[in-house]
Amino acid sequence: MQINFAAIAVAGLSAWRRLKPSLLQETVVLPALGFAGVLALWWAIALLRPELMPTPPEAFVANLDYLLHPFYRRGPGDVGIGWLLLASLRRVVLGFGLATLVAIPLGFLVGMSRRAMLALNPLIQIFKPVSPLAWLPIALAIFNLAEPSAIFVIFITSLWPTIINTALGVSSVSQDYIDVARVLEMPRWRQITKIIWPASLPYIFTGLRISLGIAWLVIVAVEMLTGGLGIGFFVWDEWNRLNLNSVFLAIVIIGVTGLLLDYAVSRIQALVTHRAVARSNF
């Protein structure tokens, strides 16, 4: 009897697609397969370039000291990866926090006032696509110090997503709600706090999550150029030493930290809005 392997493969693939993933598959199995694929690709490239690229086990063994002692201090410039991460996080929190304090009120102003929108929207559209690193020379000229310059670059690049999303949320509030508030002679400040603010919160948090992602992305690039204590300078310094083991460690730490930051903001959003944050495929 002749076996049609192609038909069996197609039938098996169709059955797999019809299966609804279980909770274990969604949370453990499928993510593990994704990570395994990345590790396999890394391993394959390392086998092709063994003189430069370490394999995953080699990188793990070489970074054991960083992993087991993340907060050591052995000299002015020799500190653990934990201290470098905290230094970068401090700059991000300061720059992002200042940007949030400025961006949300500006977003409300743009969303509620057509005149403000006409005045500020051209500036937003001009400055939004400017590369973060283009702001660094200006910041260095103003502050003449690396630390405040890095915070300023994070501040200026974190503004635009929050402003745009806040303005979109404010302008998207149903006009029927505003008309009812006017019929009830509700003061403007009560309209803002009771109607516009709650309705705009999902948009605001979307902008905050985008801004925080940009801030964490920018700090690595800025620290590469300004130097000092931070995870970005660590990447650049280890590359200059041709130590790719530590570079891979830093990439993993940067990615995991960015994931945790976004998760923290999503949890705050769920607490503030009293609703679960919708999951996305991306």
- Measured from the Cβ of residue 203, the count of other Cβ atoms closer than 10 Å reads 22
Please tell me whether residues 45 and 92 are part of one structural domain.
no
pTM of the model: 0.81
Predicted local distance difference test score (pLDDT) of residue 13:
53
Please tell me whether residues 156 and 233 are part of one structural domain.
yes
- Domain contains 40: yes
Range of the structural domain that residue 176 is part of: 65-273
- Domain contains 14: no
Predicted local distance difference test score (pLDDT) of residue 27:
65
- Tally of structural domains, the chain: 2
Predicted local distance difference test score (pLDDT) of residue 262:
92
Predicted local distance difference test score (pLDDT) of residue 245:
87
Residue-wise pLDDT tens digits, 99-125 = 999 999 999 999 988 898 899 999 999
Predicted local distance difference test score (pLDDT) of residue 22:
60
Measure the CA–CA gap between 222 and 228, rounded to whole angstroms: 10
Please tell me whether residues 39 and 127 are part of one structural domain.
no
CATH (domain of 161): 1.10.3720.10
Enumerate residue ranges in the chain where pLDDT < 50.
1-2, 16, 280-282
3-state secondary structure of 73: strand
From 53, 75, 96, the end of a domain falls on: 53
Predicted local distance difference test score (pLDDT) of residue 91:
93
Measure the CA–CA gap between 195 and 187, rounded to whole angstroms: 11
Q: How far is CA 175 from CA 29, 33, 54, 179, 182, in A?
A: 47, 48, 60, 6, 11
